[in-house]
Structure formats: structure tokens, C-alpha cells
Structure 1
Amino acid sequence: MKLMHLADLHLGKRVNGFSMMEDQEYILNRILEIMEEEQPDGLLIAGDVYDKTIPPAEAVRLMDDFLTAVAAKHVPVFLISGNHDSAERVAFGHQLMQGSGIWISPMYDGTIRHHTLEDRWGEVNIYLIPFLRPSVVRSFFPDVEIEDYTDALRTIIEDLQVDTSRRNVVLAHQFVTAAGALPETCDSEQLSVGGLDRVDGSVFSPFDYTALGHLHGPQRVGSETIRYAGSPLKYSFSELHQKKSVTVAELRAKGETEIRQIPLQPRREMIELRGTFEEILEEARKKGELQTDYYHMILTDETDVVDALSRLREYYPNIMLLDYDNRRTRSQKEVEQLDRVEERTPGELFAALYEQQNGQEMDSDRKEYLDGLIREIWEEQV
């Protein structure tokens, strides 16, 4: 059973004011070519299909064209909504689309559906878990103590009563960690301060392959079979060194799963150039043609160059960012950074601020009240 795994398409996204629609259309066409070469038995799309809950019309048309092309290849599609999506809008028409082999997670109603494919080793059950908050899960399991995201996902998965004698695959869109280790993250992802939205990867142990969405870098989480496909394009300069790809999972007999990654080459790369204004300009003149990739220019001139951005755009039309790095800018960066902020909870960060302002530690009653308040607010907003 060969399954192709995608996630985080973010159709309709703008990066630093630049529309990514042309780039997204290009990369989806490349993915269709890969499908033609690989001949998969199914396509998994693990959430964040769109960049906004109300996507622009051209993004919806692009997704419609892509799904139509996949359906024409008679490849079943299994798709869930992510935290950027509107679950209601993504699920619109899902019952009708099942006739074309497109299976979309509906609005969560306390039940997770699964669909079954079959090959010479038998059945493969595919479960679709859309992005969920603990507050939503609690409303369907009032007798279960659900404190955090791990509890919520564990409750859902235990309720599935997965038959582990068979091969099982799950799609999920959460911030999954393993043994306390943080996966690779980037600026274009929407994560909570202090990791309130973390899910322990052990909850996915009943599955032979876990197809994750949410983080933009392709990577495994502890186990080789718990994986983020990553986004097909770079959506921030913090992703500069990531190698975008399509993940292919081949399930053979029970317990035998092979993972491959097929590189994706974008229409335009993201590139960071550092040097003086004249050095960067001279490099473009030597090449003798427009440099149409997306650029972050870092000028090292000690004084600001008049009209630098418009002058550089004569040679580099797609400059997304322009910054200076010199003695003046470095002296202005008087930022006091807390040690490993991403590993501290919002409660710990607020307690540090409280102590700094009041000259004493926050008492246990205030800490307990604050943690409960932060958890409630985060669940409503994430």
C-alpha cells in the first residue's frame, strides 16, 4: 500500500506582501507529475489546506482543480482540516465527493470515521482526525478528565478501539512531540507560547503510520512512522535551509513500513544575500538578467543607502525584505531575551514578570488561577 503524504498547502497565502498563488499552482502541478510517476494507492492531506478560514476565491479554485486532477487519476484522497482552516468550509460537499473517492473529515461530532483500502496483505484502515482543541473534545466526553491536548487526543484514539492486528493509518494536525524533545519549528507556524498545544507522540502508538500536519519542516517525531510531511513551499525565511518534499509511506505486511521523501523544487527559491549595496548590485550586473527568486537583502553599509529598495528591485524584482546589519543597528538591539522562552509555559513567563515587578514570587493560589485562565483563553484562540 503506497501512500503519498502532503500537508500545510496554505493555499492563498501571502508572504511579506507577495501572493504565493503562482508558486502554489506550480508546485501542485509538480505533485501531480510525481503522482503519475509513483502511482500511489492513496493521497493523504494532513490539514491547513488554506491559509485563512475564509480563503480567497482563487485559492478555492486552485484546490478544486487539484482535487479534480487527482480524482481523474482514480487515486483516493483522504483530507483533514487544520487550525488555519474552517472545518465547516473544508468539509462542504464531502458526502457528494465521496463518490469521486475524495474523503474529507467532517465537523467533529464525537465520532472519528475511518475508511478502508485493500491490497494483497489485506485491509488498511485510515482514520481522519481534524485539528481539535481540548474544549471541543471535553463536550463529547464529559466523564473523562481532559486537562490538555495530549489528554484530548488520547481520549479520541482510545475511543476508536483500533484493531492493532490490522494495519492502521491516521491523519492528524497537532503539535506532536516525543520524549520531551521539541521538533523543528519556524516563524510561519502558529504555535502556543510555552507549548500548551503539545501532544505526546505516544498516543499514536496503535497506528502503523501517522501522517501529521502543522509543522512546515519535513521530519519524524521519535518514531520513523510518526512524521510531518512539511509544507510544499517555504513560507518564511526561517525555512531557508529546509528541504521541501513529498513523503511516501509504503506499508507492506504488518509492521513493515518504508518511508521515502521525494524532493520538491519550487518555481522561485528563497535566498538571503548579505553584503554592501554595491557588492549586491555588482553581482546582479555580472549575471546580466533579472533575478526572480524571493530575496532577503541584508546590507552591511554603515550608512543607509538612498532609495536602496527600489534601485535593487531593478535587478531583484522579488525582494521581500531589506535589512541593515552594521554597527548602528547592532547597538540598537537592546533586547533582553529570556533563556529558552519556547520551552517555558505562559504561566512561568508571567510569574517571572510578576516577580520582576513586585519583588516577590507569585503565591500558589495565584499561579493555579493564572494557569487555568491561560489554558481557557488559549483553547478559545488557537
Structure 2
Amino acid sequence: MKLIHTSDLHLGISLYGYSLIEDQKYILDQIIQIAEDEKTDGIIIAGDVYDKSIPSVEAIKLFENFLKEAAERKIKVFIISGNHDSAERLTFGSEFMKSSGIYFSDSFCGSVKSVQLKDSFGNVNLWLLPFIRPQNVRPYFSDREIPDYNTAVKTVIDSMGINGTERNILVTHQNVTNAIRCDSEELIFGGLDNINSDIFSDFDYVALGHIHSPQHIQKESVRYCGTPLKYSASEINQKKSVTVIELKEKSNLSIRTRELQPLHDMRQIKDSFDSIIKNASVDTKDHEDYINIVLTDETDIPDAMSRLRQVYPRTLQIEYDNYRTQHITDSIKMSSVKKMNPEEVFKAFYYDRTESELTEEQTEYLKTVIEEIWSNEE
């Protein structure tokens, strides 16, 4: 059994006003070609098909054409909804698409859909678990305490009735603890949405979506494939790819990647404004790339963006790296805040403003407010 794992297509996304529809069409065509070259049994899409819950007409049409191409080549596709998707909209027409080998996760209703495939070694069960929050799970397990994301996902997995003698693949879209994140991802302060990788112990492979950097968590078989395109400057140095999974008999699994080549790459140029303009004529790389400019000038350059776009039409943004920016300090650095949970952030802010600690009563009230906010998040 051979499967291709991809995720976080974010169809319809734009970067600083630039539509990426053509770039996404180019990369989806490439994924179809890789699937055909590999003679794969199917493509897994682990959530965030679209960038918005109500996607544009262009994005819907693009995904429709992708599914049509896969169906014509007899390539099965297994899709779950992510936190950016509307599960109800994404799965419209899913019942009659099964006849074409297109399988969608259902909106979560207390159980998890599975698709059973067969090869010479027996059954392979694909469990399609869409993005879930604790409040999605609580109504179906009212006899249990479900305070957080980890408990929610574990509760659902424990209820699935997995046959451990067969090969099982979980497709899910969650934030696993210790994953390396990118700027293009949706952030919940302090990692309240974290789940632990040890809850996946019953699966031969876990096809993860949600995190944009390709990586595995603790072991090779728990893997984020990453986005097929670069969606932020923090991804400039990444090599984007799809993951190819080959399953033989139980516990015999091989994992490798196939690199993807973008229509337009994303890169960074760092220098003074005059040097960038002067050297553009000898820059042999594609001037149509998406460019992040870092200027080292000590003073701001008037009309810098429009002047730079005359030589690099897809300039995304301009940053300054100079004496002034290097010496900007805050009482709480954002890099530190990202590692703190909301309670710690508020406590640090309170202490910074009052030079005193929260009382025990204030701390309990804070916890109540935080729980109420996050349990009602949309």
C-alpha cells in the first residue's frame, strides 16, 4: 500500500495582496503527477483545504478540478476538514463522491469515519478525524471530564475500537506538543490547543495537518508533511514536499519525501536599498519570485516599496535591520509570550504594571475567565 500525505493547501490564500491561485494550481498539478508517477493508492489531505471557512469561487473551482483529475486517474483521495475549513461546506456532496474514490471526513458527531483499504497483506484502516475542539466532544461524552484539547482527542481515539492486529492510519488536524511552528499558522497563546503524541500509540502512521513545517514528532511515523507552498517569510529556507508512505506487513513501514517545485519561489534579499537596486541587474534568480526585503539602511527610504517593485514585481514586504531596530526592547518579548499560556501572560503583564503578584482569589477568577473564553472560541 502506497499513500501520499499532504495538508494545509489553504486554497484561496493571498500574500500581501497577491493571489496565489495560479501558484496553487501549479503545485496541485504537480502533486497529481507525483501520485501518478509513484503509482500511489491514494492521496491524504490532512485538513485546511481552504484558507477561509467561506472560500472564494476560484478556490472551490481549483479544488474541484484537482478532485476531477484524481478521479480520472483512479487515484483515491482522503480529506478531513481543518480549523480553517467549514466542515459542512467542505463535505457537501461527499456521499455521491465515494463512487469516484473521494472520501471526506464527516462533521464530528461523536464517532470517527474510517475507510478500509486492502492489499496482499490485509486491511489498512484510514481513520478520518477532522479538527476538533473540547466543546465539539463534550456533548457526546457527557459522563467524562473533558477540560482540554488533549483529553478531547484522547477520548475520541479511545472510543474508536481500533483493531491493533491490522494496519491503522490516523488522519488528523491538531497541534502536537513540541512541533516547530511558522508565522503563517493560527496561534493560540501558550499552546492551549496542544495534544501529546503518546495518544497515537495504536497507529502505524499518523498523517498530521495544521503545522506548516515538515517534521516528525518523537518518531518518524507521527508526521506533519507541511504546506505544499511557502506562506510566510519564516518558511523561506524550507524545502516543501509531499510525504510518501509505503506499508507492507504490520510494523513494516517506509517514509520518504518528494520535493515540490513552486511556480514562483519565496526568498529574502538583505542589503542596503542602493545595493539592492544596483545588484538587481546581475541577480540571476527569478525576479518574479516572492521577495521579502530586509533593508540595512539607518534611515527609512522614501517610497521604497514602489521603487523595489519596479525590479522585483512580487516584493511582499520591507523590514529594517539596523541599529534602531536591533535596540528596540519590550518588558515582555513576543518570543517569550508565544511560549507562555494565557494565565502566565496576564500575570507577567499585571506584575509589569503593578509590581505585585496576583492574589490567590484573583488567580482563581482569572482561570475561570480564561476557561470560559477558550471553551466558547469559534
Do both proteins adopt the same fold according to a TM-score greater than 0.5, normalized to the shorter chain? yes
Residue 99 of structure 1 corresponds to which residue in structure 2?
99
- Give me the CA root mean square deviation: 1.6
Residue 154 of structure 1 corresponds to which residue in structure 2?
154
Greater shift, 79-88 or 105-114, is seen at 105-114
Report the CA distance shift for 1:281/1:61 in structure 2 as closer, same or farther (over 3 A).
same
Contact 2:331 2:352 in 1 (8 A): no
Residue 230 of structure 1 corresponds to which residue in structure 2?
226
Of the three residues 177, 185, 188, the one matched with 2:184 is 188
Structure 1 Cα separation of the partners of residues 299 and 347 of structure 2: 42
Report the CA distance shift for 1:148/1:287 in structure 2 as closer, same or farther (over 3 A).
closer
Three-state SS of the structure 1 residue aligned to 2:159 is helix
Matched, 1:336 2:328: no
Structure 2 Cα separation of the partners of residues 128 and 68 of structure 1: 21
Amino acid at match of 2:332: Q
Q: CA deviation at 1:288?
A: 8.0
Q: CA deviation at 1:371?
A: 2.2
Amino acid at match of 1:127: W
Matched, 1:325 2:300: no
Cα deviation code 1:118-169 (max 9, x no counterpart):
0000000111100000011001100011111110011001101111111001
Residue 255 of structure 2 corresponds to which residue in structure 1?
259
Structure 1 Cα separation of the partners of residues 363 and 283 of structure 2: 60
5 Å-filtered alignment, 1:129-168, equals 129-168=129-168
Amino acid at match of 2:299: T
Residue 59 of structure 2 corresponds to which residue in structure 1?
59
Q: CA deviation at 1:77?
A: 1.1
Greater shift, 321-330 or 214-223, is seen at 321-330
Greater shift, 313-322 or 282-291, is seen at 282-291
Matched, 1:272 2:268: yes
Q: CA deviation at 1:341?
A: 2.4
Report the CA distance shift for 1:298/1:359 in structure 2 as closer, same or farther (over 3 A).
closer
Q: How many residues align?
A: 377
Report the CA distance shift for 1:269/1:57 in structure 2 as closer, same or farther (over 3 A).
same
Of the three residues 227, 232, 235, the one matched with 1:239 is 235
Amino acid at match of 2:81: S
Amino acid at match of 2:38: E
Give the percent of matched residue pairs that are identical in Structure 1 and Structure 2.
46
Contact 1:248 1:259 in 2 (8 A): yes
Structure 2 Cα separation of the partners of residues 61 and 16 of structure 1: 22
Gaps of 5+ in 2: none
Q: CA deviation at 1:290?
A: 6.9
Gaps of 5+ in 1: none
Residue 207 of structure 2 corresponds to which residue in structure 1?
211
Greater shift, 286-295 or 259-268, is seen at 286-295
Greater shift, 276-285 or 257-266, is seen at 276-285
Contact 1:188 1:235 in 2 (8 A): yes
Report the CA distance shift for 1:309/1:146 in structure 2 as closer, same or farther (over 3 A).
same
Report the CA distance shift for 1:359/1:277 in structure 2 as closer, same or farther (over 3 A).
closer
Of the three residues 290, 294, 297, the one matched with 1:301 is 297
Cα deviation code 1:91-113 (max 9, x no counterpart):
11111111111110111111111
Contact 1:292 1:318 in 2 (8 A): yes
Greater shift, 5-14 or 263-272, is seen at 263-272
